[in-house]
Amino acid sequence: VQVVQSGGGSVQPGGSLRLACAASGFTVSSKYMTWVRQAPGKGLEWISVIHNDGSTYYADSVKGRFTISRDNSKNTVYLQLNRLGLDDTAVYYCACLYCDNWGQGTLVTVSS
């Protein structure tokens, strides 16, 4: 079982990024897949989830700017990050929380 993340990097304020979370050993469409982030030196923040039925939920801090989705054929979950601000700088983790299957994390840096 493995979760491999990709897609982080540096972006200017107002910019966009897409994070990917590719799973092996389990099927993402049968799980609740969650995105959590951690700003430098700070605690964990729950930001989004996609349920096995495809329903999606967001924290208010990202609602309307971030979009979670999945591609069942690729067994991959995505997080589209738009209108990024300085306080979106964080390590972003993808996980099936109750499975204890976590990605390695990907750093998103928003800086001018």
Q: Judge residue 53's burial from the number of C-beta atoms within 10 Å of its C-beta, 0-12 exposed, 13-18 middle, 19 or more buried.
A: exposed
Select from 6-14, 17-25, 52-60, 66-74 the region that touches other proteins (CB under 8 A): 52-60
**From the CB of 41, what's the least distance to other proteins, in Å?**
11
The answer to whether 46 contacts other proteins (rule: CB under 8 A) is yes
**From the CB of 73, what's the least distance to other proteins, in Å?**
27
- Per-position x/- string for 77-96, each x denoting binding to other proteins as judged by CB under 8 A, each - no binding: ----------------x-x-
Of 5, 2, 20, 16, the C-alpha closest to 105 is 5
Parallel/antiparallel/unpaired status of strands 2-6 and 17-24: antiparallel
